[in-house]
């Protein structure tokens, strides 16, 4: 080992959780005393040296007496050639750390790294408990294909993407794409180089969850436990993914805090020393040899027990298990609402206890605090309420458009529909604005009721008499029956509705914009029919399927159309009924 490594020092930069404003981890950065030596260049050429630098980073962090998880840099080539990273593992054990407290930041270059060897090495490190981060994404040579195969626990964007992020649509689109990738692979999104409050606001709005930069705290020889976070927080992140069954709330991993872990056999005295030595710790988890939480100790109840008469004498030298409770745990893929449900169903005197977050093997990767969960859910409710239409209490087009984009990105077939009232201006003029408003409220209620029975559907109120419906292609008939096959009126004035649907197979559109463009002529076609109508088409096709049309309908049960009976042909000049079910040809 070169002698200059004896003079090597480390600076520590905090990784900040943007949802809580707290320090989530520390990244040790090598700083040689001899500025003439390029540490990274040497380590890039020598896997053994690189692994030793990673071990030295862990040792330096141990000297800081910090409980925070660590982000340790290691070259991708080193991981492929030295998959076990033996010196790092020895340093982790010597420091009393556990592998799941260490995130390995894989640094490029990736071009010359044997792909299969790297993927196999990463799988082995994951089995050992290490978390994996793809570092420098956006300004390196990591192919998107390999990024998807790595499925990292964390994607860390290069600082170059942070520059002008608040006003550069291209950078904003790149960050949004990475956020979507992280959601798909179950990881978190981080970014480096946050230097200004404008950048801070921009990265939060873009959906970034972790960040580093001089705005929070520069790298320093002493590990920072407190950082600067702008007091005036921007609005919560919009456009967040909404699963098919709502409400779900933000992911619990977004609020992850470092956990204080001690061995299962720790004495009460050892726990007390730990709590008094780290005043910021609200509780301790006792874990087994694999890092699985066995018992949980709440700070206040524990110290109260020891401070009572004879408390220290009774418990100090005995196992802390005697004063511990069963841990409350959730998986890393849980949502904030699931955490809140678990707390609500638990014991009342444990409402404020930390909740342990565990990976797929049950190992603790951190804790979440109730206060952070409540704050986030309150903010999401305020944001959601602000986006609702005041008349119908339905979300606007942004919510539906975001879901359209997500399903298109997932390669799913979608059916996007546009519903409106025929001649709504005449309705207002003839029946009055109050009757018109009540009609819109009634249509909105009906849409919401049908959507509640169709979990894969989303409805939105664009404004005025215009509504959006997103559903599976075979999930539209309940909407048609509830909205088109019934009599509507505003006051005493009869009213009909029109529905236009564009069915988009996978790959036919790239987002909600092209889908809306394909929907516009279908809406016009639906309006050409007198009375209630429903037309269906596909992007790029002139063929129109008419599933409801007043001239082809009959009264009674036969008015409910069988979609299988619908016929479509080319052209637009002639229209004639095709059968008693009311399916017509838009010719």
| Least confident among 73-87, 184-198, 305-319, 423-437 | 305-319
Answer whether residue 225 shows pLDDT above 50. Answer: yes
Instruction: Tell me the per-residue pLDDT of 159-169, one tens digit each, with 9 for 90 and over.
Output: 999 998 988 88
Residue appearing with tokens 């976070």 = 229
Tokens representing 451 are 């959507």
Q: Are 396 and 385 in contact (CB under 8 A)?
A: no
Answer whether residue 567 shows pLDDT above 70. Answer: no
Q: For residue 247, is the peptide bond before it cis, meaning its omega torsion is within 30 degrees of 0?
A: yes
| Least confident among 11-20, 31-40, 392-401 | 31-40
> 379: helix, coil or strand?
helix
CB < 8 Å & 24+ apart, contacts of 237-243: 237/204, 237/205, 237/206, 237/207, 238/205, 238/383, 238/387, 238/398, 239/176, 239/207, 239/398, 239/402, 240/207, 241/180, 241/183, 241/402, 241/406, 242/399, 242/402, 242/403, 242/406
pTM greater than the 0.85 cutoff:
no
Closest to 139 in 3D by CA, of 119, 116, 109, 117: 109
What one-character DSSP code corresponds to residue 66? -
On the 0-12 / 13-18 / 19+ scale of CB atoms within 10 A, 401 is buried
The pLDDT, as a whole number, for residue 558 is: 31
**pLDDT band, residue 481 (cuts 50/70/90):** very high
Answer whether residue 587 shows pLDDT above 90. Answer: no
Tokens representing 4 are 């200059």
Answer whether residue 575 shows pLDDT above 50. Answer: no
Relative to beta strand 493-495, strand 488-490 is antiparallel
The pLDDT, as a whole number, for residue 269 is: 87
| Burial readout 173-185 (b: 16 or more C-beta within 10 A, e: otherwise) | ebbeebbbbbbee
**pLDDT band, residue 42 (cuts 50/70/90):** confident
Instruction: Tell me the per-residue pLDDT of 87-111, one tens digit each, with 9 for 90 and over.
Output: 999 999 999 899 999 999 999 999 8
Answer whether residue 419 shows pLDDT above 70. Answer: yes
**pLDDT band, residue 584 (cuts 50/70/90):** very low
CA distances, 79 to each of 70, 94, 124, 315 (Å): 17, 21, 10, 46
Helix, strand, coil percentages in the chain from 3-state DSSP, rounded to 5: 40, 25, 35
Tokens representing 8 are 């090597």
Instruction: Tell me the per-residue pLDDT of 359-377, one tens digit each, with 9 for 90 and over.
Output: 888 889 899 888 888 877 7
Average pLDDT over residues 489-502: 91
Average pLDDT over residues 51-74: 92
Average pLDDT over residues 249-272: 85
What one-character DSSP code corresponds to residue 5? G
Average pLDDT over residues 430-449: 90
Tokens representing 484 are 């088109």
Average pLDDT over residues 5-15: 83
Mean pLDDT in the chain?
A: 82
State the Cα–Cα distance between residues 60 and 75, nearest whole angstrom: 19
The pLDDT, as a whole number, for residue 208 is: 94
Q: What percent of the chain has pLDDT over 70?
A: 84
**pLDDT band, residue 35 (cuts 50/70/90):** low
Answer whether residue 581 shows pLDDT above 60. Answer: no
Alpha-carbon radius of gyration of the chain: 30
The pLDDT, as a whole number, for residue 44 is: 84
What one-character DSSP code corresponds to residue 570? S
Strands (E), 281-377: 283-287, 293-298, 329-331, 355-358, 364-368
State the Cα–Cα distance between residues 224 and 212, nearest whole angstrom: 12
Instruction: Tell me the per-residue pLDDT of 270-290, one tens digit each, with 9 for 90 and over.
Output: 888 888 888 888 899 998 888
Closest to 468 in 3D by CA, of 412, 406, 399, 548: 399
Residue 245, strand partner residues: none
The pLDDT, as a whole number, for residue 32 is: 74
Phi, psi for 277 (deg, rounded to 5): -80, -20
């Amino acid at each position: 080992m070169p002698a200059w490594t004896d003079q090597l020092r480390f600076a520590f930069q905090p990784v900040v959780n943007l949802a809580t404003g707290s320090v989530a981890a520390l990244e040790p950065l090598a700083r040689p005393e001899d500025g003439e030596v390029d540490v990274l260049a040497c380590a890039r050429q020598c896997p053994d040296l690189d692994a030793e630098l990673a071990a030295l980073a862990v040792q330096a962090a141990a000297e800081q007496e910090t409980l925070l998880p660590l982000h340790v840099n290691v070259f991708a080539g080193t991981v492929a050639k030295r998959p076990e990273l033996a010196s790092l593992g020895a340093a982790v054990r010597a420091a009393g750390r556990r592998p799941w407290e260490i995130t390995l930041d894989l640094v490029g270059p990736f071009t010359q790294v044997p792909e299969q060897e790297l993927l196999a090495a990463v799988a082995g490190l994951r089995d050992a408990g290490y978390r994996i981060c793809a570092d420098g994404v956006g300004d390196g040579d990591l192919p998107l294909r390999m990024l998807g195969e790595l499925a990292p626990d964390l994607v860390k964007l290069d600082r170059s993407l942070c520059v002008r992020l608040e006003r550069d649509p291209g950078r904003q689109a790149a960050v949004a794409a990475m956020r979507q990738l992280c959601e798909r692979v179950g990881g978190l999104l981080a970014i480096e180089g946050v230097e200004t409050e404008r950048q801070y606001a921009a990265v939060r709005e873009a959906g970034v969850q972790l960040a580093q930069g001089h705005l929070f705290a520069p790298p320093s020889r002493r590990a920072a436990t407190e950082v600067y976070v702008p007091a005036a927080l921007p609005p919560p992140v919009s456009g967040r993914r909404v699963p098919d069954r709502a409400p779900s709330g933000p992911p619990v991993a977004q609020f992850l805090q470092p956990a204080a872990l001690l061995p299962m056999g720790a004495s009460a005295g050892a726990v007390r020393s730990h709590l008094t030595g780290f005043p910021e710790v609200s509780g301790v988890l006792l874990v087994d040899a694999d890092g699985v939480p066995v018992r949980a100790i709440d700070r206040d109840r524990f110290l109260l027990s020891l401070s009572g008469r004879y408390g220290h004498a009774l418990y100090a030298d005995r196992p802390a298990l005697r004063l511990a409770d069963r841990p409350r745990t959730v998986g890393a893929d849980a949502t904030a609402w699931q955490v809140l449900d678990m707390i609500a169903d638990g014991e009342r005197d444990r409402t404020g206890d930390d909740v342990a977050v565990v990976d797929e093997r049950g190992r603790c990767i951190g804790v979440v605090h109730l206060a952070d969960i409540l704050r986030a859910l309150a903010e999401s409710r305020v944001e959601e309420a602000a986006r609702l239409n005041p008349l119908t209490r339905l979300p606007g087009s942004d919510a539906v458009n975001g879901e359209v984009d997500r399903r298109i990105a997932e390669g799913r077939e979608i059916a996007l529909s546009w519903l409106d009232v025929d001649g709504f201006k005449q309705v207002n003029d003839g029946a009055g604005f109050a009757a018109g408003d009540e009609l819109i409220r009634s249509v909105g209620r009906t849409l919401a009721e049908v959507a509640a029975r169709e979990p894969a559907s989303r409805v939105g109120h664009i404004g005025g008499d215009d509504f959006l419906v997103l559903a599976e292609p075979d999930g539209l008939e309940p909407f048609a029956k509830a909205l088109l096959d019934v009599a509507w009126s505003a006051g005493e004035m009869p009213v009909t509705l029109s529905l236009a649907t564009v069915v988009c197979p996978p790959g036919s559109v790239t987002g909600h914009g092209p889908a809306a463009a394909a929907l516009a002529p279908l809406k016009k076609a639906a309006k050409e029919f007198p009375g209630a109508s429903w037309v269906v088409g596909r992007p790029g096709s002139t063929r129109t399927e008419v599933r409801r049309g007043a001239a082809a309908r009959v009264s009674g049960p036969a008015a409910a159309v069988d979609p299988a009976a619908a016929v479509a042909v080319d052209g637009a000049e002639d229209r004639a009924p095709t059968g008693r079910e009311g399916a017509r040809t838009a010719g």
